[in-house]
Structures are given as C-alpha cells and as structure tokens.
Structure 1
Amino acid sequence: MIEEGDPAMALVTFSGYPASGKSTRAAQLKSQLDQILPDHLSVVVVSDESLNIPPSVYDDSRSEKPARGALFTAVQRLMAQDKVVIVDAPNYIKGFRYQLYCAAREMKLRVCTVYVVATPELCRQWNQSRVDGRVYASETLENLLVRFEEPSSMVRWDSPLFTVPWTEELPAEQIAQALLTGNVKPPNSGTLAAVKAPSDALHVLEQTSTAMVSAIMDAQAAAGTGGGLVTLPLSGSLTIQVTLPTRNLTLSELQRLKRQFVTIHKKAITLGTTEKGAVDWAEESVATKFVTYLEENLKS
C-alpha cells in the first residue's frame, strides 16, 4: 500500500517519438492510477486528440506553435483543480517540457516524466497502421524523429524520469509513489507566505530580456561565428556573461525564447511566489535568470 505524503496535485509529462505508443501508455496509466491513488485525487489526460489538434499541425512551425500554446493553456487551467494531470503529446522539445515544469512548480505540483521508447521503424509501422485518422504525414514523421530531444534524468525538468521501452510494462506503482511522496517545489504555501513582486517587475522583465536579445545580436555581429563565453553590456555599468553555441543565432530564435521566458515568469510576478531565491526582480537577477534559460534551451 502506498503511503501518501503531503496532499498535492501532480503533473505527468509523456514524451516520445510520434506514434510510439504514448496515448496507449497514457490511457493505461490513467486506468491504473484511478485504482491506486486516494479517492480525493482524480486523473485527467490532456492530449492533442482531446483538444481536437490534428497531427497535421506538426507539418510546419506556423501551425505547431499555436497548437502547443493551446495545449499549455489547457494544462495550466487544470492545474488549478484537485487533479493529477497527464500530458499526452509528443513534448519533444526540452524547452516546452521545461515550460510545463516551471508552471507545475508555480502551482506546487509534484512532477514526473514518462519517456515512451520505440524504434523509429516501429513508429513508422504503427503510424501507417492507425485507423483513428490521426496519421502523421511521412515527411512530418521523419522530421519529428530527427528533431526529438530525448528526456534526461540529469536535468530537473525531466526528473524523476521513467523510461518505458515498448517491450516492458508500465511501472504504475513507482509512478504513483513519485506523485504521492516526491518533493514539492516550491514549498507549500501553508508554510511560507507568497511574496509579491514589485510594481515595476513586469517592465523590468520585458525590458531586460529585450535588451539582452539586442546585445547578443550586436555581439554576434561584431565577433562573427565562434560562440563561447560572451560579455553583454546592459544598463549603466552592469554586464552579464552568457555562453553561446558555436553557430549564428537568428533574431527570431532569440525572440521566441525571450517570449517563452517572459510567459513563464509573468505568473510568478502576478501571483507571487514562495520559492526561495526567486523573488528578486531586479535587472541583474532577471538577466541571470534569462542567461540560465538561454543556456539550457539553445541548441548547439
């Protein structure tokens, strides 16, 4: 019998190749968690299918981005209820998994990641044999296979990580244990009062991240290719260092990451946070946070 820790909602993020069996595994997990978890915790699956998002949105980035935004919004909305939320989607971008993780922390949820593993050849076969109308175009499937960013137990947003090969059973008991007794970050709001951000925090967040994007583009134009450690001038005498990949970064890529960063932190500014060390919204602190986000999400 699993012993329950402090009452907490939870987020389970599925990840894996397209047509690798994620939806089957997510349905299995929901069925088993319904039997394992205490009665006060209900389990809900949020998926592309449940939101009427067709596989064709992954054909190009212009349609994929709003679809991913709709998924994120749906997950956030359910986080406000007494539920275990299972996110059944490719979730192949580590930056998106990080975004889900940050949202879960703000809501004081326990988290875990389930990595459903199948070979590319099996995924191709299973994709072609689907009869539910949710077949990926061959070109789209191949593109997603190449772009997939594998979850890692070494990074906090993918941990704890449960890797489930297609030949093995789903470890539902261990997942339930993690959801009931794992660490909750940030600390429970019953023990620490939420600290509100200063009135100019949103302005500082937007202005500082925008200035850093401009400084990176200027530094890149001046130095050419090469990457490595770069010192960026900000306002006054303030400077910040960031390690850039060994390729030219595009303005659109940096602006996309900047928008994600601002979105992630807006909620903490608006609602307050109990996370120690995360209530400093001064320019230098925001710049440091943005550097960490960039270094974790920029591809080499």
Structure 2
Amino acid sequence: MEFKKNFLICLTGLPASGKSTFAYKLKKRILNYQTKYEVIIIDPDKIREFLYNSLFSPEKEQIVRKKNLEKIEQILKENKIVISDDINYYSSMRHDLKEICERLNLKFYIIFISTPIKVCLEWNQIRDKSIPDELIVNI
C-alpha cells in the first residue's frame, strides 16, 4: 500500500526523551512500508550547529526557528515526508507547523514522546551533547 500524499509528522517531548531515536526508527518503518516518498528528518540542532556552530542559545533561537520552518516547508513542497525532530513542546511551535500543512493541503500528525523526566535527565547525561538539566526540568 502506498501513501497518496506526503505529510508532516511533528514529534514533541522533553529534551533527551528519545525523540531522535524514535524519528530514525519511524523513518525506517515508513520506508519499509512504501517506496514512493523520501523521508527527511529535520533537526533544529543541526540547523543551529550549521548556522552558529553551537548549541542552544536563547538570543539565536528566533533565527534557528525561522530557518527550521523554512526548511520543513521547502522539503514538503518537494513532495517528501518530513519528520520534525524538535521539542515542539509549546502549542505555538506546533501551530506554525500545522499552518504550513494547511497552506500546502497536507496531513499533519503529532506524536508525543512521553518519557518520564527522571529518565530524560539520565539519558541527557550520557548523550553526546548534553544540555543543562535545568532546561529539561523547566520545560
């Protein structure tokens, strides 16, 4: 069975909750299920690293967010499936993604990665680029 159109999947959850791991497993599963559409994972951490060669910085986030949304829209217009691998924790973040899909007449799905905060803090300590625990706790 093939999908009739491409679409956007929005992952949401705390930092270090396993979103990226889930995104890659989901991509593999979608590609095993169909061959018509390429699947692209968009990770704002990679955009941030490309633009600034750095991790999260509040003063740079507006630009990172703008580039992230532009990239997602561009790839959707290229008729590819997109997985947004971001915290997307605030409804305003998800709303921006939903608006893109509405403009393009595409389906929009949200998957919430519900990992206990204690586990996120543990996983954060063993990841390559850990972030301050306070960022996880305060979201």
Q: With structure 2 as the length reference, what TM-score do the two structures score?
A: 0.88
| Aligned residue runs from structure 1 range 109-258, under 5 A | 109-130=106-127, 132=128, 134-144=129-139
Secondary structure of 1:85's match?
strand
Match of 1:50 in 2: 46
1:40–1:82 CA contact under 8 A, matched in 2: no
1:19–1:123 CA contact under 8 A, matched in 2: yes
Most deviating of 18-27 and 7-16 = 7-16
- 1:22 pairs with 13, 19, 32, which one? 19
Q: What displacement does 1:93 show?
A: 1.1
Match of 1:67 in 2: 64
Match of 2:81 in 1: 84
- 2:100 pairs with 100, 103, 121, which one? 103
Which has more radius of gyration?
A: 1
2:7–2:106 CA contact under 8 A, matched in 1: yes
Measured in 1, the distance between the counterparts of 2:83 and 2:108 equals 10
Alignment root-mean-square deviation, CA: 1.6
Relative to total residues, which structure has the larger helix share, 1 or 2?
2
- Flag structure 2 segments of 5+ consecutive residues without an equivalent: none
1:46–1:87 CA contact under 8 A, matched in 2: yes
Percent identical residues: 24
1:11–1:111 CA contact under 8 A, matched in 2: yes
**CA deviation string 1:2-35 (max 9, x = no partner):** 464xx31200000001100000000000011111
| Aligned residue runs from structure 1 range 4-23, under 5 A | 4=3, 7-23=4-20
Measured in 2, the distance between the counterparts of 1:8 and 1:66 equals 30
Q: RCO greater where, 1 or 2, for CA within 8 Å and sep 6 or more?
A: 2
Measured in 1, the distance between the counterparts of 2:66 and 2:24 equals 23
Secondary structure of 1:56's match?
coil
Q: What displacement does 1:99 show?
A: 1.0
Measured in 2, the distance between the counterparts of 1:55 and 1:120 equals 21
Q: With structure 1 as the length reference, what TM-score do the two structures score?
A: 0.43
2:7–2:108 CA contact under 8 A, matched in 1: yes
| Distance verdict in 2 for CA 1:19–1:128, change over 3 Å | same
